[in-house]
Amino acid sequence: MQQSQSVCVLGGGTAGWMTAAALANKFQRSAVPVTLIESEQIGTVGVGEATLPHIRFFNQALGIDERAFMRETNATFKLGIEFCDWGALGDRYIHPFGDYGLPTPDNDFHQLWLRAGKVSKVSRLDDYSYPIVAAEAGRFRIPGENPDQIGSNFGYAYQFDSNLFAKFLRGYAESAGVERQEGKVVDVAVDPESGHVRSVTLDDGRTIEADLFVDCSGFRGILIEQTLKTGYDDWSNWLPCNRAVAVPTELNGKPLPFTRATAKTAGWQWRIPLQHRTGNGHVYCSDFATDDEALKTLMDGLDARAIAEPRQLFFTTGRRKKFWNKNVVSIGLSGGFLEPLESTSIHLIQEGITNLIELFPTGELEPYDIDEYNERMGLNFERVRDFLLLHYVATQRDDSEMWRHFRNLTLPDSLQEKIDAWLTRGYVLPYEFGVFLPPSWIAVMLGQNLEPKNHDKRADRIPEADLLRYLEDIRAKTAKEAEATPVHADFLERYLADAPQAAWRTT
Amino acid sequence: MDQPSKKPLRVLIFGRGMTAELTAAALAVGLGSAATCIRVGSVAPAPDDILFGNAAGPSAYDFFQSIGLTEPRLFLGAPTSFSFGTKFEDWPAPGRSWLQSFQAPIETLFGVPFHQFLRERSEGLSPYLIAAAAAEAGKFAHPPEEQGHPLAKAEYGHHISPEALTALVGRHPAVTAQERYLSDGAEVLVEDGEIKGLKLVDGRTVEADLYVDCSGTERKLASAVGARFSAARTLAAAHSQAALTSPPPAYRTVSLQSFGYDIDTPLQDRISKLRVFHPDQKQEAVGDEEALTFETGHVEEAWVGNCVAIGLASAVLEPLTPAPMMLLERAVQRLVELAPDADDMSVERREFNRLHANDTKNASLFTRALFVGDDFPDTPFWAEAQGSDIPSELDRKLKQFASRGVLVQYDHEPFDAEDWAVQHFGIGRRPSRHDAQVDQVPTDDIDRALTSVRTTVDRVVAAMPPHHVYLTKFKDYLTRKNLGQS
Q: Where are the domains of chain B?
A: 9-436
Q: Which residues of A touch B404 (CB under 8 A)?
A: 359, 362, 366, 368-369
Q: How far apart are CA B162 and CA B54, in angstroms?
A: 7
Q: Which pLDDT score, from 0 to 100, does residue A4 have?
A: 60
CATH 3.40.50.450 fits A7-76+160-232+317-383, yes or no: no
Q: Is the pLDDT of residue B6 over 80?
A: no
Tell the burial category of A34 from Cβ atoms under 10 Å away from its Cβ (0-12, 13-18, 19+): buried
Q: Which pLDDT score, from 0 to 100, does residue B4 have?
A: 46
CATH of B9-436, one of 1.20.1250.20, 3.30.70.100, 3.50.50.60, 3.90.550.10: 3.50.50.60
Q: Which pLDDT score, from 0 to 100, does residue B304 have?
A: 98
Distance from CA of B136 to the nearest CA of A (A): 33
Q: Is the pLDDT of residue A3 over 80?
A: no
Answer whether A226 touches B (CB < 8 Å).
Answer: no
Residue stretches of the annotated binding site of A for L-tryptophan: 342, 346
Answer whether A57 touches B (CB < 8 Å).
Answer: no
Q: Is the pLDDT of residue B1 over 90?
A: no
ipTM over 0.85: yes
pLDDT band at B10 (very low <50, low <70, confident <90, very high): very high
Could you give the percent of chain A with pLDDT greater than 90? Answer: 88
A348 and A384 in contact (C-beta within 8 Å)?
Answer: yes
Could you give the percent of chain B with pLDDT greater than 70? Answer: 98
Name the DSSP letter for residue B305.
T
Label the pairing between strands B271-277 and B229-242.
Answer: antiparallel
Query: Using one digit for the tens of pLDDT, what is the confidence trace for B264-295?
Result: 999 999 999 999 999 999 999 999 999 999 99
Compute the average pLDDT of residues A342-350: 96
Distance from CA of A362 to the nearest CA of B (A): 7
Compute the average pLDDT of residues B8-24: 97
Q: Which pLDDT score, from 0 to 100, does residue A29 have?
A: 77
Cross-chain Cβ contact A431/B341 below 8 Å: no
Q: Is the pLDDT of residue B104 over 90?
A: no
Cross-chain Cβ contact B2/A461 below 8 Å: yes
Distance from CA of B361 to the nearest CA of A (A): 16
Q: Which residues of B touch A371 (CB under 8 A)?
A: 396
Query: Using one digit for the tens of pLDDT, what is the confidence trace for B45-78?
Result: 999 999 999 999 999 999 999 999 999 999 999 9
Q: Is the pLDDT of residue B5 over 70?
A: no
Q: Which pLDDT score, from 0 to 100, does residue A41 have?
A: 81
Cross-chain Cβ contact A427/B400 below 8 Å: no
Q: What value, to the nearest 5°, has the Cα angle with vertex A393 and ends A389 and A398? A: 135
Q: Which of A26, A78, A326, A418 is catalytic?
A: A78
Compute the average pLDDT of residues B417-425: 96
Q: Which of residues 301-320 of A touch B (CB under 8 A)?
A: none
Q: How far apart are CA B399 and CA B401, in angstroms?
A: 5
Cross-chain Cβ contact A457/B4 below 8 Å: yes
Q: Is the pLDDT of residue A31 over 80?
A: no
Q: Is the pLDDT of residue B105 over 90?
A: no
Q: How far apart are CA B109 and CA B430, in angstroms?
A: 19
Q: Is the pLDDT of residue A378 over 70?
A: yes
Please report the number of interchain residue pairs, chain A to chain B, with beta-carbon separation below 8 angstroms.
Answer: 118
Region of residue A336 (left: phi > 0; alpha: psi -120 to 50; beta: else): left
DSSP string, A183-234: --EEEEEE-TTT--EEEEEETTS-EEE-SEEEE--GGG-IIIIIIT---EEE
Query: Using one digit for the tens of pLDDT, what is the confidence trace for A298-338?
Result: 999 999 999 999 999 999 999 999 999 999 999 999 999 99
pLDDT band at B3 (very low <50, low <70, confident <90, very high): very low
Q: Is the pLDDT of residue A363 over 70?
A: yes
Compute the average pLDDT of residues A415-427: 96
In this structure, of A88-97, B117-126, B188-197, B374-383, the range with the lowest mean pLDDT score is: B117-126
Query: Using one digit for the tens of pLDDT, what is the confidence trace for A34-88?
Result: 999 999 887 766 555 899 999 999 999 999 999 999 999 999 999 999 999 999 9
Contacts 24+ apart (CB under 8 A), B190-193: B190/B224, B190/B225, B193/B225, B193/B226, B193/B304, B193/B305
Decide if A326 is catalytic. no
Per-domain residue ranges of chain A = 7-76+160-232+317-383, 243-314
Cross-chain Cβ contact B351/A427 below 8 Å: yes
Q: Is the pLDDT of residue A235 over 90?
A: yes
Beta-carbon contacts of B30 under 8 Å, excluding residues fewer than 6 positions away, are A106, A458, B66, B333, B336, B339
* Mean predicted lDDT score pLDDT of chain B: 94
Q: Is the pLDDT of residue A1 over 70?
A: no
Q: Among B219-223, B245-249, B385-389, name the most confident range.
A: B219-223
